[in-house]
Structure 1
């Protein structure tokens, strides 16, 4: 009886040891798998793009000079669009291997992070806050915030904005944040996109519209009754945004931008659209 009891105990402990070893082995294998997945997650971005043989770009459809839908052709045209095509040509060997999807200041990061687009080239300012959500390329366009007013307006600079001034801005833009810092007493009215914002200004719903000077020049070129006033009051460097951890894709885009600046293609695109 005693021997049987010892034998039973021995067998029980042996079985426990087997299960323990199996569990440890499984844990190591699982851990190793996770580690491999984590390290390859950023590296797979460019490979995925090359496998799909196209880059899906998020661009503005309402921003003259940078991204605007041509009503005659239905095509999106502008500086950002041409930069996207040029970068695509370097990365994939063919400028036509692009797909453009419309984004706004509010939708662009969510669309990037849910996989609808591969990159954002849409007058997007590089900020420390946004760096927590996305990875940015090197600066591809230097811009600064300014004011657009109807000609003859009493507002001639940021110093003329008071508590009675209605300032129009776009939802989700750094411009809306900046104007509240630079003119804290102003009444800020936010609209969904630049087309709605400019329409509101022309309708007299506000006294001035604020955003990057590059965008405002586009608006002024549409209607000669409006002009930019004062100096720029912020530094707004534009970057191409990609999903967090896309190190290989970021490097490829930076290399492409450097090549465009070196071979003169960047200046060609710049002079084509930013002729002010």
Structure 2
């Protein structure tokens, strides 16, 4: 009997030691995804500069955005079942606003870069292009290559803070670089002769050529100087990226992407 009592006492001691350990174990807290937050909130916050047609333009009179990526944002909001809340930003402050979590996704002609990739996810690319010149049609033959552009006396105009300025500063050492703050009227500077050319995305040169027929000409937009892709810059959330990628996959397969694209680029 004494041996039995000793064994029971030892078992009780072991159980007493195990109890706190069991109590300290808790079920891991399940993190809510940003996708869940957006759906619960009922709004998708979209950051846009509003100065980059045909991707986005902001009308200060009406307080509304328009453009290719505005139509795409509305389609994404509809797929999510939420309202789209546009947040105005600028190219120089785009990254800071993204890091401050001022929006869930940046749209409006955003190029994929490795620096941006470090801070968030990119969706499936929606466009492949690169930098190419746009100049007055009378001067188009002069600016076919980076070598002929990078000459003393040539005036290259850039908008500040984005990939256009970075490209120009990386490749232009002898020509003059003029930084112009208004991306909406920057092409008028070329048209009226206050600048010679701008190097920007081929899609924009095609669009501006259409807006300035016979005055401004896109120079070899089918053969840009470099390789680039545009996509939607998402806060780092795998569920949100998976949804956006699947939405784009469906849109490209069912023709809805093509219809929105044709309205702005063809």
| Contact persistence 2:50–2:108 (CA under 8 A) | no
Asked if residue 163 in structure 1 is aligned to residue 152 in structure 2, the reply is yes
CA distance in 1 between partners of 2:172 and 2:105 (Å): 33
Match of 1:227 in 2: 217
Match of 1:50 in 2: 39
Given the two structures, how large is their TM-score scaled by the length of structure 1? 0.77
Shift of 1:72: 7.2
| Contact persistence 1:149–1:155 (CA under 8 A) | no
Report SS of the residue matched to 1:194. coil
Identify unmatched segments of 5+ residues in structure 2.
1-20
Match of 2:56 in 1: 67
Report SS of the residue matched to 1:167. strand
Report SS of the residue matched to 1:195. coil
Asked if residue 195 in structure 1 is aligned to residue 184 in structure 2, the reply is yes
How many residue pairs match? The answer is 240
Shift of 1:116: 1.8
CA distance in 2 between partners of 1:193 and 1:133 (Å): 27
Matches within 5 A, 1:80-119: 80-92=69-81, 97-119=83-105
Match of 2:135 in 1: 149
Report SS of the residue matched to 1:155. helix
Shift of 1:192: 3.0
| Contact persistence 1:139–1:237 (CA under 8 A) | yes
Match of 2:239 in 1: 248
CA distance in 1 between partners of 2:131 and 2:40 (Å): 39
Match of 2:3 in 1: none
Report SS of the residue matched to 1:58. strand
Shift of 1:236: 1.7
Asked if residue 207 in structure 1 is aligned to residue 199 in structure 2, the reply is no
CA distance in 2 between partners of 1:187 and 1:203 (Å): 17
CA distance in 1 between partners of 2:100 and 2:65 (Å): 23
Of 166, 169, 187, 1:180 maps to: 169
Match of 1:19 in 2: none
Which shows bigger deviation, 258-267 or 163-172?
163-172
Shift of 1:223: 2.3
CA-based RMSD: 2.7
Query: Over residues 59-89 of structure 1, what are the superposed CA-to-partner deviations in whole Å (9 max), with x where a residue is unaligned?
Result: 2322222111357754311111111111121
